[in-house]
Structure 1
Amino acid sequence: MDSSNTHSHRLVSLAQQLRLYKPPPSSFDEIEERQFQETAGKVVSQVGFQESVTSIVHDPEKFRPKRAAVLICLFEGDAGDLRVILTKRSSSLSTHSGEVSLPGGKADEGDKDDGETATREAKEEIGLDPSLVDIVTVLEPFLSKHLLRVVPVIGILNNKKSFQPAPNPAEVEEVFDAPLEMFIKDENRRSEEREWMGEKYLLHLFDYESNNNNNKYLIWGLTAGILIRAASVVYQRPAAFVEQNPKFKFPGVVNNNTVMR
């Protein structure tokens, strides 16, 4: 059996595994079912944590986050490891300029689901043809510091050679990839203790140097949080470090200028 067939079988097996994944229920979904009745809720983090581990003071008139989706596009590298496609955002952008992120963005009214949002945005940002990506599952939503409800969509790129990155210079400065497993390992990771409304939590930062171009990248915040969760699901084991997600409550009043810091 040649290596290409071996890689193909591994990705098929991974796709089968991930299609069986069921994300934990989100309390936002529960609230929608109860027509936004008053209830205890979740916490919104400074830079993004999954909704299932956080809690917020709910008020349907004050907080109903806009929806977005990001694409966790996995493929098998030459060394047989699973890798994820990442971008370095353009330095000219007004928010998160120069930061590492996953392809994705806000949902359009015409999007049929989160998978379409994520792949549409990936095509616009990096030229990734949606037909090349096999969407296999979605993870529980995260909340960004700009109060977007971000749904991570996991897709598999079975033939990496079929993808020739074409970054949109208005949005993306670089396209690169990193090993997914690094996000549940304790190597090349550091953390900073942060505090919000009297509750402490850990902010994780990963340092990565690409073998392809020797460029160094810092992966942190919402992107790191999503990738920690994705790696835990894919490899079916928890991170080798303490995550210490936040336990703080959401501010009582939210407007268009509200940002978690």
Structure 2
Amino acid sequence: MDAGGGCGRSENLVKLAQLLRHYRPNYGSGSDSVEDGIESKDVKTSRAAVLICLFEDENGDLRVILTKRSSTLSSHSGEVALPGGKRDDGDASDVETALREAKEEIGLDSTIVEVVTVLEPFHTKRNITVVPVVGILFDRKAFKPIINADEVESIFDAPLEMFLKDENRRQEEREWMGYKYLLHFFDHQAENTSYIIWALTAAILIKAASVVYQRSPAFEECFPEFWSRRAR
């Protein structure tokens, strides 16, 4: 991965965890707690969760763990993604889904990740509701990646603040059902490998960075309307 991190609980990460625990995603259901927000009485196979796992590098900068999906997968093959996937019948919550998938894909043990909040869900054209779960890895060195080659080609990390900056970013205008929107592409180098972080993954990370740093990105977002429609 790009960078290591110090052992123990840094003061900055502790403060960040406290800040994020007070974040209340707008689910449109009157929910006012993380547990209320992540539980669902009507769990469908069209529900998924991803893990935004944050840690500090040696300079005290926040970074997020990302993967490149296997080129043999039937959907989104070879694309950059956050660890995660569809919710199983046995999953008690979106948090459990995200942690289980991260363990299966990259060997990230849930016992070393402290989940602090969830963000507003995103919705795909295929009507899959994707819930971003935010967790903090206080001890980066405790994470020993074990890559599931059937699902993941590689693992890397990127600075979270990158997703608020206009550097190394480009955009394309698209149209769907008469509505024009922007797709954002972030170019990133890690261990002499080039990655492109785009579409829904980029949108989720723009949202996460906006919440963490409490400021808007330095560019127009203009996301498609279907990404933010209410879950049914």
Larger radius of gyration: 1
Partner of residue 174 from structure 1, selected from 154, 161, 164: 154
1:108 aligns with 2:110: no
- Root-mean-square deviation (CA), in Å? 1.9
The alpha-carbon deviation at position 182 of structure 1 amounts to 0.3
Unaligned runs of 5+ in 1: 31-63, 250-261
Partner of residue 122 from structure 1, selected from 87, 102, 112: 102
Partner of residue 222 from structure 2, selected from 239, 244, 253: 244
Q: 1:158 aligns to what?
A: 138
1:183 aligns with 2:163: yes
Residues 126 and 5 (structure 1), Cα distance of their counterparts in 2 relative to 1, 3 Å cut: closer
Q: 1:43 aligns to what?
A: none
1:200 aligns with 2:180: yes
Q: 1:8 aligns to what?
A: 10
Q: 2:47 aligns to what?
A: 67
Residues 200 and 5 (structure 1), Cα distance of their counterparts in 2 relative to 1, 3 Å cut: same
Distance (Å, rounded) in 2 between the aligned partners of 1:163 and 1:128: 6
Q: How many residues align?
A: 210
The alpha-carbon deviation at position 214 of structure 1 amounts to 1.2
The alpha-carbon deviation at position 109 of structure 1 amounts to 1.7
Contact 2:52 2:65 (8 Å CA) reproduced: yes
The alpha-carbon deviation at position 207 of structure 1 amounts to 0.4
SS in 2 for 1:165: coil
Residues 242 and 206 (structure 1), Cα distance of their counterparts in 2 relative to 1, 3 Å cut: same
What are the residue-to-residue correspondences of 1:38-49 with 2, within 5 Å? none
Contact 1:71 1:122 (8 Å CA) reproduced: yes
Partner of residue 226 from structure 1, selected from 177, 201, 204: 204
Contact 1:127 1:167 (8 Å CA) reproduced: yes
SS in 2 for 1:73: strand
TM-score by length of 2: 0.86
The alpha-carbon deviation at position 161 of structure 1 amounts to 0.3
Amino acid at match of 1:20: H
What are the residue-to-residue correspondences of 1:48-63 with 2, within 5 Å? none
Residues 221 and 248 (structure 1), Cα distance of their counterparts in 2 relative to 1, 3 Å cut: closer
1:18 aligns with 2:53: no
Q: 2:40 aligns to what?
A: none
Q: 1:214 aligns to what?
A: 192
SS in 1 for 2:129: strand
SS in 1 for 2:201: helix
Distance (Å, rounded) in 1 between the aligned partners of 2:175 and 2:106: 35
Q: 2:35 aligns to what?
A: none
Distance (Å, rounded) in 1 between the aligned partners of 2:8 and 2:92: 34
Residues 135 and 6 (structure 1), Cα distance of their counterparts in 2 relative to 1, 3 Å cut: closer
> Comparing 99-108 with 145-154, which one deviates more in the overlay?
145-154
Contact 2:27 2:120 (8 Å CA) reproduced: yes
Contact 2:124 2:226 (8 Å CA) reproduced: no
Contact 2:51 2:135 (8 Å CA) reproduced: yes
